[in-house]
Structure 1
Amino acid sequence: MAIRTLAGSRIRERRIAQGLRQADLAADVGISPSYLNLIEHNRRRIGGKLLQELALRLEVEPALLAEGAEQEVIARLGNVAERLGEEIGMAESTAFAGRFPGWANLMIRAGRRIDELERNVETLTDRLTHDPHLAATLHEVLSTVTSIRSTASILQDTREIEPEWRDRFHRNINEDAARLAERAQALVGFLDGAGDTQSEVGSPQEEVAGFLSAYGWHFPALEDGRAGAAESYLAGAAQLKSSSAQAIAAKYLACYAQDASDLPLEAFRTAIATHGAEPLKLAAAFDRDLASVMRRLATLPEHGFGLVICDASGTMLYRKPADGFSIPRFGAMCPLWPLFQALSRPMMPMSQRVAQPGRGGMSENIFETFAIAQAVLSTEYGHEPLLEATMLIAPMAGEASPQGARLIGASCRICPRTGCAARREPSIVSSRF
């Protein structure tokens, strides 16, 4: 039986998984329950507008209903092979996924784990280089060691010493040793959590990143416009330990709620089905500014878009990762990002295909980026506007060609590219990292 003829079975499985009755789903898409029953038992072919409407109601990509998850597994196997520098044909991947589906999924999970571990190494390297909290902690550890050594030297080298002074030196050594043990333990915990966005971190921005990551950057209660939803999210947020982080998160949730009100979820998804995930067309359809449309696209979990926002100084204000696109958590970003070019051309929408080194530097990850710099505050006469640049990061299919893409990195410190005119410092990453 052809793969497409099983679309009805997939619709039925998805409906049952969501707890929907057949009659309710049929009413939602404007067909009779009996016709939907025929579709679910693969007695009627389905496609076009009805397939789009069913996929929208079941919150799934139409391709997954029409073609099944098998095609997605095959595509992901190809991505794993490409990242490891292996050339495996589509026929081989298809045969492997068909004969050994369990092993195929295990390979995909192993590839994700490799990516995760390499990202942790990059994050740790970035943190060792730039994090001021780590520098202060190391300084305190070294100062305490020096103090203990100095006191011990006095006791060792001074033959005649009064009992009162000897007791004082012993007390100082004991207190310094206790402080050293405490700071060393804190340092180990700090480094152990370097790759975990939800671990205890050293800045309000990272606390907010952990909070947003815990919810997948999507807040259903704000989508529904429930009263007091933002306060409820903040009240239960264990990641937001500081008042600064609470304030930043509250500002973000307020912006999210406004975007959800201006661009309602169902209407926005329907517009995407019509126009595609094209920010300019969506902005025109809803008569909204481009930055708010890009922020809205980044909240939809089914697309996997990344988003970065910076102020006029280039300081990162917000970062939502996209799979395969490396965004440093500390230090300066690559100056070649379209995000920073947008700052020099306020209110000019920019679209640029970019390529970042893949894991191991053995392939390129291709992305379509959309960027714009807009004024974020009302200005007074004679005053320059305050600008904020926003960049949406859209991963492209594995077969996307890097031809014509702009070559960019993450930051100079962990970028393996050679011969880059924008490089500020030598990279610690070799081509075989």
Structure 2
Amino acid sequence: MAQRKIFAGVKLRALREQQKLTQAEFATRLDISTSYINQLENNQRPVTAAIMLSLAENFNVDVTSLLADKSDRLIIDLKEIFADPLFADNPPGLQELKSLATNTPQTAHAFMRLYEAYRKSNERMAGVDDVLMREQAGNLQTSYEEVRDFFHYADNYIDPLDRAAEDLAGEQALDGHDKMERLVKYCERVHDLTVEFVMPNKRDMIRQFDRTRRVIRLNTTLDKSTQFFQLANQLALLEQTSLINQILSDANFKRDEARAICRIGLANYYAGALLMPYNQFLKEAQAVRYDIEIMAQRFGASLEQVAHRLSTLQRPQLRGIPFFFARVDQAGTITKRHSATALQFARFGGACPLWNVHRAFESPQRIIRQRAETPDGKRYLCLAWASEKRAGGFRQPTRRYAYALGCEIEHASELIYSDDLDIGADAAFDPIGVSCRTCERRNCTQRSVPPIAAEISITPDERSVVPYEIN
């Protein structure tokens, strides 16, 4: 297999500007020519191993940050956008999209925001979305989408919050079966809080905080892992206010609503990191070969919490396996998503019906496996399972979700789930895609619409499962 060339022009230019160096000064520090620096920054030449070592020695650069190519996910997002019939006459080719995402990522993000504005504007005019009709003109990307993109392009890893949670977990020894009791005592001692476990006073109550009396009430019927997570969430909002405010300020959200939503997301992030501290969690994951059920027992967490945490292990110089993670409801809507892999989820529309996550509802509480291949030739080991979330008694609401967790096949041997699977046989891999409009497969019997980049032919006297042929 040919070695992948690393192009990191945007990152090198950002590093040089951060150091306040000219190209000539930067070249001198790296012992190369100014013209070579110019070519590197414009992605005309790849970064060599020698230059990587020089960057590490002279600027303390984490080499793995150069290897992590975030342009892949940006290319997939752009490809999905250009699958819109609006661009059917002359869609850009893959090389053009790569050039846009690699050389001018800010322009690519701006184009994505513009497309979302166009899409939402059309929905308004058609009266499709009454909620968006109430938004002010110009704010056409919803607040939830703005926050989604914040976490998406941060690799779902927030370093200062992660380290703050890990420090507190170590200081208070929150690593045993009595971690809940220790966290309650910490809240009482340090923040003068009273924690009460109560029967819910309304059917969907999970947590309540009475700021006047400084009382936190938790639903006593919830799982212990959820109770810990909710108490840690409230603690983050009290103890990490300055840090969260700084992160929100740096994110530069357009609206107060987006900042409020992201504040909740950051508190959730801190809670997960406190429940499963980074170093300890990564070591345990490697020790048990990523057996998520054992890890859930070890950390007193749910399978969803463990899977989500696995998708955040992107700390520089201490990265875990890059995972994708998603939560899907019974209608097939992806309600939570993140991918540290090349696999990206559709931003507009549902997920591929051939993906095993849709079959998880047929076998609740059982982890099912799938070897899958996407149209770009990348292969994955995919895990899926389903569960119910109940709060209270017989008449209380029940939420049902399926969950997906997976990694590229090159990491599969590190997972216990691959031990009895043949990961070398081509026929063992199911063909899946991101969305029908961007999927290039010509023989998929589950296809709902043709791929935008291909022409179709229809023969009235013949009928197959799909009523057209892709040329």
TM-score, with structure 2 as normaliser: 0.50
**Paired residues, number:** 278
Task: Considering fraction of residues, name the structure with more strand.
Answer: 2
User: Judging changes above 3 Å, is the alpha-carbon distance between structure 1 residues 243 and 388 closer, same or farther for their aligned structure 2 residues?
Assistant: farther
1:113: Cα distance to partner?
A: 9.0
Alignment match, 1:134: 118
Q: Deviation per CA, 1:298-329: give whole Å up to 9, x if none.
A: 01012221222233332222222243213211
Query: 2 CA distance for matches of 1:411 and 1:292?
Result: 27
Alignment match, 2:344: 326
1:212: Cα distance to partner?
A: 1.3
Query: 2 CA distance for matches of 1:249 and 1:411?
Result: 27
- 2:391 equivalent among 353, 375, 378: 378
1:210: Cα distance to partner?
A: 2.5
Alignment match, 1:123: 80
The answer to whether the 8 Å contact 2:73/2:344 transfers is no
Task: Considering fraction of residues, name the structure with more helix.
Answer: 1
Letter in 2 for 1:215: A
User: Judging changes above 3 Å, is the alpha-carbon distance between structure 1 residues 398 and 276 closer, same or farther for their aligned structure 2 residues?
Assistant: closer
Query: 2 CA distance for matches of 1:126 and 1:383?
Result: 43
Alignment match, 1:263: 276
Letter in 2 for 1:221: P
Alignment match, 1:208: 147
User: Judging changes above 3 Å, is the alpha-carbon distance between structure 1 residues 202 and 420 closer, same or farther for their aligned structure 2 residues?
Assistant: same
Alignment match, 1:315: 333
The answer to whether the 8 Å contact 2:363/2:386 transfers is yes
1:406: Cα distance to partner?
A: 1.9
Matched, 1:409 2:420: no
Q: Deviation per CA, 1:402-427: give whole Å up to 9, x if none.
A: 44122211111111112222111111
- 1:337 equivalent among 318, 335, 355: 355
Q: Which runs of 5+ in 1 are unaligned?
A: 1-72, 79-99, 142-182, 187-199, 359-363
User: Judging changes above 3 Å, is the alpha-carbon distance between structure 1 residues 113 and 269 closer, same or farther for their aligned structure 2 residues?
Assistant: closer
Query: 1 CA distance for matches of 2:260 and 2:364?
Result: 28
Alignment match, 2:299: 286
- 2:159 equivalent among 212, 220, 224: 220
Matched, 1:298 2:282: no
Q: Deviation per CA, 1:361-382: give whole Å up to 9, x if none.
A: xxx2111122222334514414
Matched, 1:250 2:189: no
Q: Deviation per CA, 1:246-304: give whole Å up to 9, x if none.
A: 34423333332222222122211221231123323322433432111101100101222
Alignment match, 1:425: 449
Matched, 1:390 2:347: no
User: Judging changes above 3 Å, is the alpha-carbon distance between structure 1 residues 222 and 104 closer, same or farther for their aligned structure 2 residues?
Assistant: closer
Structure with higher Rg: it is: 1
Runs of 4+ in 1 over 4 A off after TM superposition: 100-105, 109-118, 126-133, 138-141, 430-433
Find the residue that maps to 2:433 and give its secondary structure. Answer: coil
Alignment match, 1:76: 4
Q: Which runs of 5+ in 2 are unaligned?
A: 7-47, 54-65, 88-114, 126-136, 169-238, 413-422, 456-469
1:235: Cα distance to partner?
A: 3.4
User: Judging changes above 3 Å, is the alpha-carbon distance between structure 1 residues 367 and 264 closer, same or farther for their aligned structure 2 residues?
Assistant: same
Query: 1 CA distance for matches of 2:393 and 2:249?
Result: 39
Q: How does 1:271-282 map to 2 (within 5 A)?
A: 271-282=284-295
User: Judging changes above 3 Å, is the alpha-carbon distance between structure 1 residues 282 and 75 closer, same or farther for their aligned structure 2 residues?
Assistant: farther
User: Judging changes above 3 Å, is the alpha-carbon distance between structure 1 residues 300 and 104 closer, same or farther for their aligned structure 2 residues?
Assistant: closer
1:133: Cα distance to partner?
A: 4.4
Alignment match, 2:372: 354
The answer to whether the 8 Å contact 1:207/1:239 transfers is no
1:215: Cα distance to partner?
A: 3.4
1:396: Cα distance to partner?
A: 1.9
